[in-house]
């Protein structure tokens, strides 16, 4: 069954620690994305990648880093420089028809 897998669903970290969120897709999509969602808000784009070994900053990239070493994988690292890391993080991918497919998210809590 094709789709996007984000793990874990819930993640807890102490302030000052870096944390990496996993995103894997088996849809053979070239483009992948990371969005952040805060309560009652829409999604905001953090980073996106159009192809392996290439990625661009989105609207709120500060305090985050990504890598795209494989087509299937686009991990997001939330660094200690991110001032408000607690949020719902959504990974997505898209192919030639430009329909964006989303995972079911990771809810990160930093205390």
Looking at the Cβ atoms of 18 and 26, the one nearer to other proteins is 26
CB neighbourhood size of 75 (10 A):
17
- Interacting positions 16-35 with other proteins (CB under 8 A): 31, 33, 35
Per CB under 8 A, which region of 16-24, 62-70, 72-80, 100-108 contacts other proteins? 100-108
Query: Binding residue for other proteins (CB under 8 A) from 50, 53, 62, 109?
Result: 50
Query: Binding residue for other proteins (CB under 8 A) from 107, 108, 109, 110?
Result: 107
Return d(Cα 2, Cα 11) in angstroms, integer. Answer: 24
| DSSP code at position 30 | S
CB 70 within 8 A of CB 56: no
């Amino acid at each position: 069954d094709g789709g996007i897998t984000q793990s874990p669903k819930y993640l807890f970290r102490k302030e000052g620690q870096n944390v990496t969120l996993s995103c894997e897709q088996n849809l053979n999509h070239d483009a992948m994305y990371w969005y952040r969602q805060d309560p009652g808000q829409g999604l905001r784009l953090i980073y996106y990648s159009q192809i392996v070994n290439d990625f661009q900053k989105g609207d709120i990239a500060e305090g985050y880093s990504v890598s795209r070493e494989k087509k299937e994988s686009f991990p997001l690292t939330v660094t200690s420089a991110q001032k408000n890391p607690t949020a719902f993080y959504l990974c997505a991918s898209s192919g030639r028809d430009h329909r964006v497919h989303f995972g079911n998210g990771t809810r990160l809590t930093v205390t």
